[in-house]
Structures are given as structure tokens and as C-alpha cells.
């Protein structure tokens, strides 16, 4: 009874206590949110990149020689871009529309499984990037290069564009989603190489994107006619184009090479060194994947897909995962062979997928194409190839062990795709081409020139098609057009240049050189006038500076035959064969020639010489020159093509990947 007054206070005391408690609670809540707001404001201020001028102001006018960054700010360039942006915007939009119209039909035909057949066509209904121009954040110049100039420019763009797509799906229905909230961050690399004592000071320029760009956006379908199912089915196709295709076209080792000087044969060799070319073969032994997250509809059926150039993909077989340790584990011990173009700084892109015959969860999201035989991304990773390539160049036979962490972030996300979705253990072995011998493998083809085609009129358009006897996949070169008028104009320009060189030799007293050039000019005049004996007035299609004139045929057998045809391109009639060439793979394997890019004799390199007219031998007839290979059914036409046998070297011991390699042998996944 004595405790009753304690637990039954009066009404006044109860109201007083509640009022005091509310005041104290409100006061503490105010202090909490006020402190939180101050912390957010301080973090925002600390996260601002002040730049060099802002740092000088905050620190109290540091000396001008103090530089806290290796990258320079370019505010003057940003001010210039603001003034030019209306014109740049229109030019970029026109270029994007033109490129999309050219490549989109081919992209829609080569969509991966689960995405094909959803979209018939994609184009732009409206395209403008708005009033906000892109900003050049910084520029960095490499201090280590002596014979070339390498600079990287960081670009950022966040604006309010007016981009509306026109997407046609089967059935005639059209969707017009808007692309909103776009942000784009990328780094562009420009290389001027080699530096020469001639105006403008370098032979060629190369542009590329060294890392995948960070692209974020949102699709707004509005009130789509197909309800929620049509947008959900179309969105993966748009995402695939925005992320995968743009990466495939821009990111290193893809590049754009612009020839500047082409005065000498050495200039052309230097330009070809800048162009994308295969340098070696990488063997990837995919061992196991562990710590994978369990599938929501059962056990994971996992495959790993790898690529080095974003063009050719190789995948392991699909294996059923089993519970082990902290998650699920899959073992393959399978070999995959890929070509490497840039051993110093190229990356291997890895993606792990869960492949299910039936995935009912996709029906709930409207993605009906992924219900049957669909692939769900488990994680992706970027792996630096520099350690493995360095070991291969130095002649080390032991493979390099790699443990890559899987994440679900984008390729261009800060820090890479991330971690937390599992690990994949592999062994990497690299062989440069100059150290290869005879094994089984891949054939790479580099088209260089087509000469002497028989034509009836004054012009011809032709292309080259390459196939193999065991591979139905064909490759076509770009179409080149030759006209007699343009060819004569080129010869006349060359005559003017040689006449200027001859006069310079006469002034300097070099009479023998001047006499040789006079005979050479006479030979050019005979070619222009139609002298058949010394004719240079023939169809000449030069692919040496065409970066797309390169192809690779995988899984080639020793008994296969490489088939090359030169076909006439015509819209009104079927393609007429102007010449053909069948080369057995065995001939490529036993060949050995000097690679002009490296200066070394390499086994498995099938490359015939191509001699040009020289002022030293102006009277030498064309028939006595070494000029590639004669085409069958070509009436004396010739083709200059470089073919290489890339062996896929096998090994017996694959069991060591099941064990934990030592910590010193690990190479973690590369960060973006």
C-alpha cells in the first residue's frame, strides 16, 4: 500500500513531467539535427576542389612556384568552349546521328542472347545537349616520353539535354523515351608520335579513352502505349548500347589515328605502329569462382565471359555451383585464348553470369525475353595485364596467379566495378609474337593493299572478303573507290614534288641524284600518258592506314584454308569476283618473315615484300618487282596481306588453382 502513491502520481505531477520531457526531447532533437546539418555543410565545403587559385586564397597567397597537383587547370579553355558551344553542340549532334544511322542496324543484328528481336530500329527523334557545355577539368602531360608527346585531358559534362529516342518494336509500335539526368565523365588520351624536325613536328596523332567512361542517365518513357511491359523489355537494349557499344568503340585499345606526315616510307611505318595491332596471345586458365551469392530460384549455373578488346568474347562452359565455405563455389579449370594489342596497359574484362533455363522473376519486371535461357549478371571485374605481359616478355614460363573480386558497378565507376559478389581465381600466361613457335591456334589477318585490278571503265569500287574453310563467319573490308582522274592527279602532284626535289639537288650540286629523279619524272609522265610498259596507272587501293582492315579467325585447324576474294561493289548487280586467293594454314605456320614494326624475324608470319617505284631504279619494270601475291582469276592483280599464326599453347598441370596461392603471387583486380 505504501508503493501506491509512488506509482500513482497526481495529475499535476504527471502533466508537469510530460511537459518537461517534451521540452528536453525537442531540445536534444534540435541539437542533433543542427549538429548533423553543420557536419554536412563542412563535408560539402571540404569536398570542393578549390583548384590552384582557390588554394592560394585559402592558404594566404602561396608562392607561384608551389604546385600541389600534376594536372593543370584549363579555365581559359572552358571560357572558350562556352563561347563556341552552340556550334560544337550542333556538330556533335550531327556526328552522333550519322554514326548511329550507320552502326545501329549491325548492332541490333548482333545483340547477345535474350536481347535480340526486341527492337527493330533505334534513332533520334530529338537530339541537342542543351545550353550547358562540357568542362575540361584538367590536363596532364607525361614527363617520361622522349620521342612522343602523351597528354590526358579529363572531361566532365552534366546538363539538361533534349534527347528523345525513336524506338520501333515488333508489331509496328513506337516508343519515344527521353534520356534525362545525364552525367558523363571521361579521360581522353592524345598521343603525338613520333616527334620529328619537320613541320608540324610529329608524324601522326592518336586519340583514345584509356578507361571506360562513367555514364549515368535515366530513361523516361512517360505514358507508354505498351504499359509497363514494353519499356521494361526495351530498357536492357538501350542500356546495352549506351554502355557496351560505346565502350567497344571508344575505350583502349580502340583508337583513332590521324596521319599528318606521309612523305617517306618510314612515316607510314610509324603511323602503323600507332594503329591497333595484335602484339601477342594471352592464355587464361579459369580455375574457380568462390564466395558467390546463392540464387533466389535455386543453385547458380555459372559461366565466365572474358575479352581483351571488347570485340571478341570467349566464355567458359556452364557449371553448376555448390555450397562451400562462405557461399557457392564453381570449378572449371578451362583454358581461354585471347589476343593482346597493348601489353603495357591493357586490361582483361571479366563478367560472371548465372544462366537459367527458366527465370520466373523476369516476368514480374516485364522483361519477358529473359524468362527462358536468360543470363543474370553475378559480377564483373577489370584485371590489369601488365604483370603477366611483363613476365612473358622476360621469358618467364610460370603463369601469373590472379584473384579478381566481382562487383556489380559499371566499368567506369570510381574504383572499378567494386567487390563483394565473389572471387574468381585464374592463371595468366602471355607470349609475344616474336617468341612463338609452332602450335595450334588463331590466324590474324591484316589487309595492306590491292593493286592492278582489271576494270572496264574509268572507276571501280571494291572490297575484300575473308573466310576460312572451317569457319562460316566472314569479314569484309571497307569499300574503296578508285577513279582514273584522281589517280592521274596524284601522279601529277608527285611529279611536282619530284621536280622540286630535282631542282634542289641541282642547286646543291648533287648531279647523280638529280639525274635519277629526272628519269623517275619521265617514268611518271609515261604513266600519265598511258605507257603500258612502265604503267603505274593501275587500280591501287591502299589499306595500310586503315585501322579497320584487321581481322582474326579463332579456332583454326591445321588443315583449314584461308579464302580471300576481291569483290566489286555495286548496288545494281551482284558482287563480281575480281580475284581470289586460297592460302593453306600450313603455309602460314611454316612461314617466317621480318616484322617491320619490331625489326625481328618472326615465325608464323606470312608477309610478302612490296616494292615501290624508286628514283634509284626508274627504268625497272613492274613485272620484276616483288609485290605481294598474285590473285587467281585477277589478270595479274596482286594483293598485299599480312597473316600470322598465333599458337594456343596447352599445359598439363591445372590442379594448382584449387589451392590457395601464396600472397606474393596474387594480383588483385585492377581499379578503374
Read off the C-alpha cell for 442.
588463331
Read off the C-alpha cell for 454.
582489271
What is the arithmetic mean of pLDDT over 627-646?
Answer: 87
Which of the four pLDDT bands, split at 50, 70 and 90, describes residue 190? very high
Number of Cβ within 10 Å of residue 487's Cβ equals 19
Residue 660 confidence (pLDDT) above 80: no
What is the arithmetic mean of pLDDT over 282-303?
Answer: 85
Residue 3 confidence (pLDDT) above 60: no
Could you give the CA distance from residue 367 to residue 350 in angstroms, rounded to a whole number? Answer: 24
The model's pLDDT over 25-70, given as tens digits with 9 standing for 90+, comes to 888 888 888 888 887 776 665 555 555 555 555 555 555 545 555 5
- Cell 587500280 belongs to 539
Q: What is the DSSP string of 51-90?
A: HHHHHHHHHT---TT----SSB--HHHHHHHHHHHHHHHH
Share of the chain above pLDDT 90, in %: 17
Q: What is the mean pLDDT of the chain?
A: 79
Which H, E and C letters describe 468-501, residue by residue? ECCCCCCEECCCEEEEHHHHHHHHHHHHHHHHHH
Residue 517 confidence (pLDDT) above 60: yes
What is the arithmetic mean of pLDDT over 292-319?
Answer: 85
Q: Range with the lowest mean pLDDT among 97-101, 212-216, 529-533?
A: 529-533
Give the residue with greater pLDDT, 614 vs 79.
79
What is the arithmetic mean of pLDDT over 341-349?
Answer: 91
Please state, in angstroms and as integers, the Cα–Cα distance from residue 138 to each residue in 70, 78, 229, 627, 671, following that order.
Answer: 9, 10, 44, 48, 20
Q: Which of 266-270, 288-292, 566-570 has the highest mean pLDDT?
A: 288-292
- pTM of the predicted structure, to 2 decimals: 0.65
Which of the four pLDDT bands, split at 50, 70 and 90, describes residue 9? low
Q: Which of 185-189, 374-378, 555-559 has the highest mean pLDDT?
A: 185-189
Q: Residue 632: which of 454, 447, 444 has the closest Cα? A: 454
What is the arithmetic mean of pLDDT over 476-483?
Answer: 88
What is the arithmetic mean of pLDDT over 545-562?
Answer: 86
Which of the four pLDDT bands, split at 50, 70 and 90, describes residue 325? confident
Amino acid at each position: 500500500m505504501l508503493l501506491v502513491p509512488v506509482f500513482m502520481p497526481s495529475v499535476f505531477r504527471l502533466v508537469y513531467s510530460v511537459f518537461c520531457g517534451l521540452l528536453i526531447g525537442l531540445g536534444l532533437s534540435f541539437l542533433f539535427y543542427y549538429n548533423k546539418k553543420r557536419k554536412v555543410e563542412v563535408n560539402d565545403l571540404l569536398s570542393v576542389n578549390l583548384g590552384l587559385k582557390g588554394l592560394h586564397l585559402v592558404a594566404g597567397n602561396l608562392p607561384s612556384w608551389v604546385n600541389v597537383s600534376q594536372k593543370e587547370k584549363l579555365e581559359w579553355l572552358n571560357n572558350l568552349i562556352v563561347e563556341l558551344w552552340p556550334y560544337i553542340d550542333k556538330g556533335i549532334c550531327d556526328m552522333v546521328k550519322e554514326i548511329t544511322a550507320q552502326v545501329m542496324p549491325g548492332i541490333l543484328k548482333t545483340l547477345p542472347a535474350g536481347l535480340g528481336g526486341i527492337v527493330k530500329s533505334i534513332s533520334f527523334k530529338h537530339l541537342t545537349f542543351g545550353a550547358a557545355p562540357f568542362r575540361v577539368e584538367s590536363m596532364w602531360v607525361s614527363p617520361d616520353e622522349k620521342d612522343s608527346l602523351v597528354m590526358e585531358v579529363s572531361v566532365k559534362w552534366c546538363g539538361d539535354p533534349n534527347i528523345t529516342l525513336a524506338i520501333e518494336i515488333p508489331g509496328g509500335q513506337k516508343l519515344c523515351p527521353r534520356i534525362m539526368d545525364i552525367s558523363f565523365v571521361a579521360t581522353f588520351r592524345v598521343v603525338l608520335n613520333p616527334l620529328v624536325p619537320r613541320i608540324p613536328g610529329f608524324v601522326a596523332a592518336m586519340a583514345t579513352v584509356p578507361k571506360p567512361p562513367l555514364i549515368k542517365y535515366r530513361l523516361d518513357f512517360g505514358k507508354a502505349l505498351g504499359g509497363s511491359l514494353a519499356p521494361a523489355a526495351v530498357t536492357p537494349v538501350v542500356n546495352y548500347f549506351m554502355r557496351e557499344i560505346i565502350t567497344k568503340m571508344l575505350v583502349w585499345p580502340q583508337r583513332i589515328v590521324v596521319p599528318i606526315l606521309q612523305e617517306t616510307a618510314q612515316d607510314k611505318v610509324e603511323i602503323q605502329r600507332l594503329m591497333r595491332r595484335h602484339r601477342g596471345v594471352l592464355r587464361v586458365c579459369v580455375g574457380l569462382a568462390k564466395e558467390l551469392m546463392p540464387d533466389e530460384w535455386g543453385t547458380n549455373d555459372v559461366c565466365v565471359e572474358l575479352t581483351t578488346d571488347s570485340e571478341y568474347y570467349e566464355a567458359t562452359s556452364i557449371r553448376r555451383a555448390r555450397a562451400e565455405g562462405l557461399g557457392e563455389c564453381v570449378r572449371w579449370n578451362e583454358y581461354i585464348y585471347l589476343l593482346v594489342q597493348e601489353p603495357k596497359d591493357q586490361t582483361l574484362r571479366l563478367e560472371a553470369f548465372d544462366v537459367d533455363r527458366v527465370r520466373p522473376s523476369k516476368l514480374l519486371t516485364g522483361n519477358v525475353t529473359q524468362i527462358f535461357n536468360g543470363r543474370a549478371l553475378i559480377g564483373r571485374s577489370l584485371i590489369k595485364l601488365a604483370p603477366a605481359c611483363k613476365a612473358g616478355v622476360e621469358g618467364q614460363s610460370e603463369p601469373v596467379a590472379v584473384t579478381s573480386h566481382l562487383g556489380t558497378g559499371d566499368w567506369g565507376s570510381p574504383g572499378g566495378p567494386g567487390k563483394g559478389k565473389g572471387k574468381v581465381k585464374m592463371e595468366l600466361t602471355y607470349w609475344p609474337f616474336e617468341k612463338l613457335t609452332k602450335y595450334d591456334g588463331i590466324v590474324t589477318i591484316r589487309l595492306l593493299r590491292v593493286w592492278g585490278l582489271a576494270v572496264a571503265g574509268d572507276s571501280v569500287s571494291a572490297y575484300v572478303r575473308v573466310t576460312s574453310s572451317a569457319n562460316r563467319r566472314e569479314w569484309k573490308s571497307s569499300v574503296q573507290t578508285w577513279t582514273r582522274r584522281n589517280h592521274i592527279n596524284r601522279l601529277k602532284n608527285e611529279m611536282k614534288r619530284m621536280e622540286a626535289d630535282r631542282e634542289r639537288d641541282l642547286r646543291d650540286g648533287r648531279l647523280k641524284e638529280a639525274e635519277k629523279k629526272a628519269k623517275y619524272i619521265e617514268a611518271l609522265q609515261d604513266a600519265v600518258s598511258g605507257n603500258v610498259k612502265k604503267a603505274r596507272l593501275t587500280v591501287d587501293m591502299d589499306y595500310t592506314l586503315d585501322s579497320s582492315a584487321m581481322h582474326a579467325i579463332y579456332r583454326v585447324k591445321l588443315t583449314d584454308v584461308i579464302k580471300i576474294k576481291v569483290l566489286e561493289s555495286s548496288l545494281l548487280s551482284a558482287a563480281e569476283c575480281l580475284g581470289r586467293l586460297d592460302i593453306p594454314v600450313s603455309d602460314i605456320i611454316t612461314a617466317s618473315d621480318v616484322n617491320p614494326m619490331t625489326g625481328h624475324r618472326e615465325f608464323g608470319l606470312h608477309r610478302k615484300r612490296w616494292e615501290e617505284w624508286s628514283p634509284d631504279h626508274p627504268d625497272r619494270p613492274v613485272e620484276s618487282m616483288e609485290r605481294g601475291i598474285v590473285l587467281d582469276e585477277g589478270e595479274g592483280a596482286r594483293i598485299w596481306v599480312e597473316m600470322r599464326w598465333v599458337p594456343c599453347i596447352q599445359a598439363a598441370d591445372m590442379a594448382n588453382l584449387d589451392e590457395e596461392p601464396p600472397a606474393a603471387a596474387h594480383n588483385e583486380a585492377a581499379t578503374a
